[in-house]
Chains A and B, each alone.
Chain A
Amino acid sequence: MHFHRVPLVAAIGSISLVLFLVACGGPFPQSALHPTSDFGYALDDLFRTIFWLALGVFVVVESLLVYVIVRYRARPGQPPPPRVHGNTLLEAAWTLAPAVILMFVAVPTIQTVFRTDGSAPEGALEIDVIGHQWWWEYRYPEYGIVTANELHVPRGRPVVLKLTSADVIHSFWAPRIGGKRDAIQRRQNRLAFTADSVGVFMGQCAEFCGESHARMGLRVLVQDSSDFAAWVAAQTAPPVPEDSLTELERRGLEEFREIRDPASNSCIACHAVQGISAGVLGPNLTHVASRGTIAAGMLPNDSANLARWLRDPKAIKPGSKMPAIGLSTDEIEALVAYLRRLR
């Protein structure tokens, strides 16, 4: 029987192609393979240990397979093979061998599990993370900040995220910071990490949470302590005073305040702006203009995108809980102008 070299080469070639794409592609901003916090390093070290062990086993066993089928392929005129039924020593050997290898997986696993169980040292920055369909709410009790989707943390200071959910189960995952944990109603999970380099790190919800699960992005902004302090100061500053608003912005504020019918069409029903409204169903907008993106990391935060969003949120994020309220172009322009002032 003639041996199939061509398809085998094709199979190996296709795997090589994939490896090539990975090696030469990128950058991969959401990669779990480029950690940037102690939590991420711990998982990455463990993963690499397991990966090399697995690769070793893979090479040995697949080579054995290939060797066996090449070496013992049927050739014409052979006598029938011997009727071997088994060998106790061999069985014991290949029961023990994996057991030994697995010890090298199990021990570091258990060490890492305990090391990454979410406990944080005294003085860690505690942040409440609340998953919503489909955005993230962050509360910093230490500073009294409530914000959304973009998580600011200082470099070098331990951070502990206390995760829960306002509705269905979500999972907070910023791969370069570390592994994910689920955000579950009436439960609190913890993620602890100390980020070690400044930058913007992408992430997104990892637990299927309904229609726009794919649109539940997040960003972790790791900042130097001075930048972080400046951000805290800006976020805790009082909102823009009413008398400093331009005419257009003032009209936007009125739109924002207007009570519509049905009430759920009113901005203030869901959104809080400090000193103006106290809605809790949607993101807090007190300093919305300071954020880089809107709609859970989907779009850059600029006037055009805000206007698009206000016109029809569901067109951008299917199933979005925010209704399209049928504002006129003028009204949208005013609202956008107002929102852009909320720095």
Chain B
Amino acid sequence: MATAVAEVKAEKASLGSTLWSWLTTTDHKRIGILYGVTAFVFFLIGGLEALIIRAQLAHSGNDLVSAETFNQLFTMHGTTMIFLAVMPLSAAFFNYIVPLQIGARDVAFPRLNAFSYWVFLFGGLLLNASFLFGAAPDGGWFGYPNLTSKQYSPGLNIDFWVIGLQVLGIASLAAGFNFVVTIINLRAPGMRMMRLPVFTWMTLVTQFLVITAFPVITVALVFLMFDRFFGTTFYSTAAGGDLLLWQHLFWLFGHPEVYILILPAMGIVSEVLPTFSRKPLFGYAVVVYSGLLIGVMGWGVWAHHMFAVGMGPIADSVFSATTMLIAIPTGVKIFNWLATMWGGQVQFRTPMLFALGFIAMFIIGGLSGVMHSSAAADLQQTDTYFVVAHIHYVLFGGAIQGIFAGIYYWWPKITGRLMNEKLGKWHFWLSFIGMNLAFFPMHFIGLLGMPRRIYTYSPELGLDTLNLVSTVGAFLIGISVLIFIYNVWWTRRHGEVAGNDPWRAATLEWTIPSPPPPYNFSVIPEVVSRLPRWSVTQMKAIPEVPPEPIHLPGGSYWPVVTAFGILVMAAGALLHSLWVVLLGGAVLVVGIYAWAFEPFEV
């Protein structure tokens, strides 16, 4: 919210018109801010769920929450962090930063962009509304049938999950098409593909994964929904169905999804490291290609999530081998990052600390990943806390730290003010220590025999102390996030004014004022090199005032109306009311037509 202030205040607009302008905005920067703020709130909710989980597990035999509540909490923690926090936090950067990095005035389809955001918001609210009905999803974020079939989960819980995820899928897909086209088509003259900043490149790979992976989970979810609502037999063994169908479809989506979560953070790190090493990224092309390769190979490894299901030794071996292969491009990225700093001048500003933390922690997560890429060894690891440790090293140590690096790095661009360095460092170190306290013991907790997703454990296991350490670590992370929030609040008033380029960075977004004017670039830049601000061949300066008037599209309320139609349809499905679904469908159709025919020049 703090970020929006400057621009709006200038107009001295009334509250109503401010709200209306945000509701109808099609400006990628505002949508980026909406994504960021919304996702951060969901991040806090997911974090709160994690803290309750850790409090429950602080010692054996605890009864802080019931088994039922615990199962809801870990299901929602996973679902929230993946779909409502990490993905949309990345989306906030896609929205805000990518057009600036490629020298564009907006995304290719500004209204579709607004639509994506509203659908995401409604989907997230729908999922979390389940708590109000005491029926939060409780089948795990992976929702394996037949546990999630009507017979074993008769309540609304799984309905919320199945429908919520489909809604969120629409948001992701719409954004995916938009950004693929934006990056390919809206590059400024001279911005060749191999001049794109690595963050933009990783965004492109991510969006390709989104548009190919989400249809697969949509199909799996539709089957489950049909089974639950209409009595089809997709996941019914009695009818001859196979429960592994879901697992294959889910992980066919689920593994690319892992890269959807991590690649943007890798992109951010690849921007931050050169800036604070005062040296260009080492092996730019290799870093780009390894990202592409990770994206492509991500499609060939899904069954490594299924080593215990009994696929047979041949399939197990094949998926072990493909999974190990992915370690190679990942390793290559890490070595290139190290080489970027080699011989540089490493400045320990907050974004850099988070980027370094990313590398340090991602190495651990990557190595534990190699450990369970080994199908046989994985039989002792899968579904234990060892895997919980692994995913948190890659998703917290990796994705979240990468995102925080991005927040500190681009905050001055977005708000015009630098965040407080001292608070930033407190945030980093507390979170770094907390993270290692929380997640490092989990490796041992798992190897010493604690399965995942258990609401309580026996004192006989001897794991009380390690679990307590882990819980303390989790609360340290919680405190570090509070410091971050305080930093945001502090920066709003007292933050040092940033100017165009506080970091003396290389890429295009730093050539324009902070925050950027609504039109971004007063003239569309002519790009002459990969590092426009560092290169010897200087690009033409961008004038402060546009030399000629710039046409900017006005807002549109049809995206939010159309998104609302989808929400009504989803609510109708939850209520099993055909009439409500049809009503929502009608709103959707009206929205699409009005949208298609309203005068809106990009």
Contacts and interface: CB of A to CB of B under 8 A. Distances in A.
A touching B, CB within 8 angstroms = yes
Nearest to A22: B444
B280 A84 contact: yes
B466 interface: yes
Contacts of B153: 210
B447 interface: yes
A42 B313 CA distance: 15
B448 A43 contact: no
Contacts of B237: 185-186
A14 interface: yes
Contact of B380 (A47, A54, A105, A114): A47
Nearest to A176: B449
Given A168-B146, A204-B451, A319-B67, A113 B320 contact: yes
B466 A65 contact: no
Nearest to A1: B348
B345 A50 contact: no
B465 A32 contact: no
A161 B580 CA distance: 51
B436 interface: yes
Contact of B376 (A57, A109, A169, A173): A109
B484 to A, nearest CB: 16
B71 interface: yes
B338 A68 contact: yes
Interface in A64-86: 64-65, 68-69, 72-75, 78, 80-86
Given A95-B328, A211-B71, A212-B67, A81 B462 contact: no
Contacts of A167: 146, 152
B440 interface: yes
A207 B376 CA distance: 17
A328 interface: no
A185 B277 contact: no
A65 B461 contact: no
Interface in A8-24: 10-11, 14-15, 17-18, 21-22
B279 A81 contact: yes
Interface stretch (B116-124, B221-229, B283-291): B283-291
Given A22-B444, A72-B342, A185-B237, A31 B449 contact: yes
Given A94-B335, A202-B460, A32 B376 contact: no
Contacts, number: 324
A182 B334 CA distance: 36
Contact of B449 (A25, A28, A86): A28
Interface string A130-173: 00010000000000000000000000000000000001110101
Nearest to A54: B367
Interface string A197-213: 00000111111111111
Given A32-B380, A113-B320, A209-B147, A74 B310 contact: no
A256 to B, nearest CB: 29
A69 B298 CA distance: 31
Contacts of B146: 167-169, 185
A282 interface: no
Nearest to A318: B67
B2 interface: no
Given A43-B380, A184-B309, A208 B147 contact: yes
B342 A319 contact: no
B457 interface: yes
A110 B379 CA distance: 13
Interface stretch (B200-208, B425-433, B546-554): B425-433
Interface in B388-438: 425, 429, 432-433, 436-437
Interface stretch (B250-258, B356-364, B517-525): B356-364
A25 B347 CA distance: 41
Given A178-B379, A180-B382, A61 B309 contact: no
A38 B312 CA distance: 19
B278 A86 contact: no
A217 to B, nearest CB: 7
B370 to A, nearest CB: 6
B363 A4 contact: no
A47 B461 contact: no
A65 B313 contact: no
B190 interface: no
* Residue from B286, B383, B449, B463 having most chain A Cβ neighbours under 10 A: B449
Contacts of A205: 451
Interface string B131-149: 0000000011000101100
B339 interface: yes
A277 interface: no
A319 B144 contact: no
Interface in A111-141: 112-118, 133
Nearest to B316: A113
A99 B335 CA distance: 14
Interface in A311-338: 318-319
Nearest to B472: A14
Interface in B305-323: 308-310, 312-313, 316-317, 320-321
A188 B337 CA distance: 47
B453 interface: yes
Interface in B132-189: 139-140, 144, 146-147, 152-153
A167 B308 CA distance: 18
A15 B389 CA distance: 13
A189 interface: yes
B195 interface: no
A14 B71 contact: no
A304 B113 CA distance: 64
A274 to B, nearest CB: 29
A314 to B, nearest CB: 10
A73 B310 contact: no
* Residue from A78, A90, A178 having most chain B Cβ neighbours under 10 A: A90
B142 to A, nearest CB: 8
B320 A25 contact: no
Given A83-B280, A179-B376, A318-B68, A214 B454 contact: yes
B16 interface: no
A62 interface: yes
A30 to B, nearest CB: 3
Given A110-B317, A214-B456, A179 B346 contact: no
Interface string A41-67: 011101100110010011001101100
Q: Which 7 A-B pairs have the closest CB atoms?
A: A179-B379, A30-B449, A214-B454, A189-B310, A7-B429, A74-B345, A112-B376
Interface of B: 66-68, 71, 139-140, 144, 146-147, 152-153, 237, 242-244, 277-280, 282-286, 308-310, 312-313, 316-317, 320-321, 324-325, 327-328, 331-332, 334-336, 338-339, 341-348, 356, 359-360, 363-364, 367-368, 370-371, 373-384, 425, 429, 432-433, 436-437, 440-441, 444, 447-458, 460-463, 465-466, 469, 473, 534
10 contacts: A1-B348, A11-B432, A25-B466, A29-B461, A86-B283, A109-B375, A110-B321, A179-B378, A180-B382, A187-B243
Given A91-B286, A215-B456, 4 more contacts: A10-B429, A43-B379, A61-B334, A214-B453
